[in-house]
């Protein structure tokens, strides 16, 4: 078995475990710092709304060797106050262009700006592209975007409340808001335009974050289904085991999803200068990363904190503490039978889980895990035939009569 395979097996059986739930204060502190920085950027710089949201007139024309300040002076000289000038370069694809955004202009003022551009910047009239979006249309787009987000969040709460319970729904909602606030804060700090493509990207990454959270919650529900009547592990330990069991899947899917998005962001937007690709790719890139983080470090710890307040799980925690001598360990290994039953029949996880010993089996025989035939990766080693003969067990070879 490879090292990665052994690590995945150890995570699934609990022989290798990271304490995600028990260190919730650390994760919440990191999230809080990032959110505060984003909110400061949002309050100081604000969001740079695209033309579709704030309304206005946009002029696009090729660069004829002039600077951004010279273009701004020409447009301002045509009677337009505070024009926003951007220089867009497309490496290897056509020539660089200027993009000028102003407040909404009527036809007379727009024609005056075009005449100033063609007369002083060496551009012909057919090379100037003019787009005007009214303020009312931009306001309508903004309202539709907010309504879409609200409907999405309400649908999420209803779905999770019906499928699981309201505490998991609240945890998932907090994780989604966590992703949304961080993404918006980074947009404010970076200064990228917020366009309809950005809204599409936000809704997409919220759906991805929800999917990742639901996968973890499914495993949490499976691990905590019958633990109330026992004394082996607390709700937090079972939830932490679920996060570890789904950790490899979360990392693999996130990396696979981030690679093409990174190509869109750094190649498509950086080299080709495609504005719509940039707006969409940045939202996807930030959202995919924060969605994976929140499903592991935010959503599940919140569920554990809420559930541990219930009387039945408080009583369970006391029994577990008694079993372990008054101190509850941070992590516990999974039960071999439970792991085997949760994996698909014939799968590698099922075969590995069937070979894993039940916790305490080696200790009850007076041996440590190492002397009980366990490797450091938690994979059971087969004893040689000579050892089985010495221990009085048949070696499997037929005896001659």
Instruction: Set out the domains of the chain in order of their start, with CATH numbers.
Output: 18-48+137-313 (1.20.1640.10), 56-133 (3.30.70.3220)
pLDDT of residue 147: 85
2 falls in which pLDDT band (50, 70, 90)? Answer: low
Query: Among 156-160, 213-217, 362-366, whose mean pLDDT is lowest?
Result: 362-366
Percent of the chain at pLDDT > 70 equals 73
Average of per-residue pLDDT across 181-196: 85
3-state secondary structure the chain: CCHHHHHHHHHHHCCCCCCCCCCHHHHHHHHHHHHHHHHHHHHHCCCEECHHHHCEEEEEEECCCCCHHHHHHHHHHCCCCCCEEEEECCCCCCCCEEEEEECCCCHHHHHHHHHHHHHHCCCCHHHCEEEEECHHHHHHHHHHHHHHHHHHHHHHHHHHHHHCCHHHHHHHHHHHHHHHHHHHHHHHHHCCEECHHHHHHHHHHHHHHHHHHHHHHHHHHHHCCCCCCCCCCCHHHHHHHHHHHCHHHHHHHHHHHHHHHHHHHHHHHCCCCCHHHHHHHHHHHHHHHHHHHHHHHHHHHHHHHHHCCCHHHHHHHHHHHHHCCCCCCCCCCCCHHHHHHHCCCCCHHHHHHHHCCCCCHHHHCCCCCCCCCECCCCCECCCCHHHHHHCCCCCCCCCCC
3 falls in which pLDDT band (50, 70, 90)? Answer: low
Query: Among 57-66, 164-173, 243-252, 269-278, whose mean pLDDT is lowest?
Result: 269-278
Given a cut of 60, is residue 335 above it in pLDDT?
A: no
pLDDT of residue 49: 81
pLDDT of residue 25: 93
Given a cut of 90, is residue 28 above it in pLDDT?
A: yes
Highest mean pLDDT among 12-26, 231-245, 267-281: 231-245
pLDDT of residue 391: 46
What pTM value is reported for the model? 0.68
Query: Among 104-118, 130-144, 229-243, 305-319, whose mean pLDDT is lowest?
Result: 130-144
pLDDT digits (tens, 9 = 90+) for 93-116: 557 888 888 888 888 888 899 999
Percent of the chain at pLDDT > 90 equals 10
Average pLDDT, the chain: 76
Average of per-residue pLDDT across 199-217: 83
Which residue would you say has higher pLDDT here, 115 or 135?
Answer: 115
Average of per-residue pLDDT across 45-51: 82
Average of per-residue pLDDT across 33-50: 88
pLDDT of residue 156: 81
Which residue would you say has higher pLDDT here, 178 or 270?
Answer: 178
């Amino acid at each position: 078995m490879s090292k990665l395979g052994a690590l995945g097996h150890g995570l699934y059986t609990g022989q290798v475990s990271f304490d995600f739930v028990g260190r919730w204060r650390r994760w919440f502190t990191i999230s809080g710092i990032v959110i505060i920085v984003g909110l400061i950027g949002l309050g100081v710089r604000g969001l740079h709304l695209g033309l579709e949201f704030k309304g206005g007139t946009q002029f696009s024309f090729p660069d004829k060797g002039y600077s951004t300040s010279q273009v701004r002076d020409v447009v301002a000289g045509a009677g337009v106050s505070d024009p926003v000038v951007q220089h867009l370069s497309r490496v290897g694809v056509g020539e660089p262009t200027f993009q000028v955004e102003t407040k909404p202009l009527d036809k007379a003022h727009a024609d005056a700006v075009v005449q100033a551009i063609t007369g002083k910047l060496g551009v012909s009239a057919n090379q100037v592209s003019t787009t005007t979006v009214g303020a009312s249309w931009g306001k309508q787009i903004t309202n539709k975007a907010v309504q879409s987000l609200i409907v999405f969040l309400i649908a999420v709460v209803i779905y999770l409340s019906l499928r699981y319970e309201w505490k998991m729904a609240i945890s998932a909602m907090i994780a989604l808001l966590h992703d949304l606030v961080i993404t918006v804060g980074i947009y404010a700090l970076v200064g990228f335009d917020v366009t309809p493509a950005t809204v599409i990207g936000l809704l997409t990454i919220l759906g991805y974050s929800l999917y990742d959270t639901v996968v973890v919650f499914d495993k949490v529900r499976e691990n905590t289904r019958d633990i109330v009547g026992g004394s082996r592990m607390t709700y937090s330990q079972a939830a932490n085991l679920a996060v570890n069991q789904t950790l490899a899947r979360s990392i693999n899917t996130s990396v696979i999803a981030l690679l093409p998005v990174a190509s869109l962001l750094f190649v498509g937007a950086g080299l080709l200068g495609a504005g719509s690709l940039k707006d969409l790719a940045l939202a996807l890139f930030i959202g995919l990363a924060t969605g994976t983080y929140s499903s592991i470090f935010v959503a599940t710890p919140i569920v554990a904190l809420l559930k541990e307040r219930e009387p039945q799980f408080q009583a369970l925690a006391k029994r577990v503490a008694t079993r372990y001598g008054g101190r509850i360990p941070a992590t516990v290994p999974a039960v071999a039978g439970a792991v085997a039953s949760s994996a698909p029949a014939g799968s590698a996880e099922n075969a590995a889980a069937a070979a894993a010993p039940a916790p305490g089996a080696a200790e009850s025989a007076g041996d440590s895990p190492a002397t009980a035939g366990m490797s450091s990766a938690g994979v059971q080693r087969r004893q040689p035939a000579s050892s089985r003969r010495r221990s009085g067990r048949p070696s499997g070879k037929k005896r001659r009569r």
